Amino acid sequence: MTRYEPLTRDNAAVILVDHQIGLMSGVRDYSTGELKHNVVALAKAAKALKLPIVVTTTARDSMWGPTFPELVEALPGIEIIDRSTVNAYDDARVARAIEATGRKKLIFAGISLEVCAAFPAMTAVTRGLDAYVAVDASGTFSETKHQSGLARMQQAGVIVSDYATLMVEILKDNAAPEAAAVYAALDMPWATLVGQIAAAMRK
């Protein structure tokens, strides 16, 4: 059993892999609207927490199209690294960008879950890093792929969770100055309520 070591603002980074228009159209485990909401919420919350964010696409000009516009809008000024490799970690520029964060705990999300999120996450584990996958900010093309992807990642030592839990773990304290921004980014009814409570606590 691995000892629990919390995610923090100082040890975590977010890696977003292949949230592209062409791939989004094939996702079947989440609706397009829900998946877009979750990915954008993850990105905005990570920004509010000042986490390093690495974004990459595969063959955006020839196969899968660009990153969906709502995510690009949520991450102004962040370079999106386009590559040809199936495993994002196999691209030297992506690997350098991840290493440049200096973080040992990497939160991945990607389309598809069992390839674009799983492959780099499992690679991170083999490199001695802690890998997490935000399952509901990822997506895939069938229930079989969803279940087999989860099983394979867990067998390889990847920690699976949901995007909101990972972000509130990093927030840590609802009285923190960033709490309202984080809960606003999460954009969920309970998050809005907690954000209001956090704002009231600071008054």
- What positions carry a catalytic annotation? 116
Q: What are the beta bridge partners of residue 130?
A: 105
CA distances from 189 to 148, 151, 158, 194 (A): 31, 31, 29, 9
Nearest to 14 by CA among 173, 169, 175: 169
**Is the CB of residue 27 less than 8 Å from the CB of residue 140?**
yes
Length of the chain: 203
What is d(CA 9, CA 76) in angstroms, rounded to the nearest whole number?
20
**Is the CB of residue 23 less than 8 Å from the CB of residue 111?**
yes
Q: Count Cα atoms within 13 angstroms, Cβ side, for 51.
A: 34
CA torsion 170-137-34-200 (nearest 10°) is 0
Rg (CA), the chain: 16
